[in-house]
Amino acid sequence: MPEAVRAALPALFVSDLHLKEEEPDTVAAFLDFLAGPARGAGSLFILGDLFEYWAGDDDLDAPFNQRVCSALHTLAGHGVGVFFIAGNRDLLAGEGFARAAGLQLLADPCRVRFGRGEDAPLVLLSHGDALCTDDRAYQAYRRQVRDPAWQADFLAQPLAARKAFIADLRQKSEAAKRDKAMEIMDVNAEAVATLLRAHRYPTLVHGHTHRPARHEHDIDGRRCVRWVLSDWHGRATWLTFDGQRFEVVCVTG
């Protein structure tokens, strides 16, 4: 099992902002968050789908992408550790993005220990889409687009062609969602249990489903807590952890 990433407290967790120029209120809320509450944190974890889409690191020159990355880099410059797990919308974010944003890329899932000792709190982080195993069509797609050979071939195409492909894919995805039962697009209980068991029953934090909640699971006689993060449509929402308790913060308007 990989060694846990070390991070400072207090920690903030966000996901599923789906930032795009067409929704300036959400963008403004995120930039305010970075310039305000996030500066009081020891670490910030972005658990995927920060952007509505990411066509590749060669799109970093786009003014919108520059603006977001610059704000993240400024936060890191204030001594806040910024960490990122790629989601299904921004899975092509790579080392170029990490350098521009001043953040550290994390694997999915990733174990994070808050403190130096081995008895320091341990939290397991994930975007969450790998847990939605009942949606077999999506899981087949996920395996395809996360294959390094597929990504290399895709990134070799012109940027304009990639953006056109992504726009078409987004339309098809929204249409497909309308024909799926909501339960299929949520996490599978056994997939959650398998993940928690493999990582020795930690607290799990993830996004993706847009169903914010606190869940308790009895796994092999052990009580495990799972936090599902909120999207940012209509409100700025994050989860805080001070080493002992988690708390949801929501800012509307």
Binding annotation for Mn(2+): 16, 18, 49, 88, 127, 208, 210
DSSP string, the chain: -PPPEE-PSSEEEE----B-TT-HHHHHHHHHHHHTGGGG-SEEEE-S--BS----GGGTTSHHHHHHHHHHHHHHHTT-EEEEE--SSSTT--HHHHHHHT-EEE-SSEEEE-SSSTTS-EEEEE-SGGG-TT-HHHHHHHHHHTSHHHHHHHHTS-HHHHHHHHHHHHHHHHHHHHTS-TTTTSPPHHHHHHHHHHTTS-EEEE-SS---EEEEEEETTEEEEEEE----TTEEEEEEE-SS-EEEEEEE-
Q: Which residues are annotated as a binding site?
A: 16, 18, 49, 88-89, 127, 135, 173, 177, 180, 208, 210
Q: Which residues are annotated as a binding site for substrate?
A: 88-89, 135, 173, 177, 180, 208
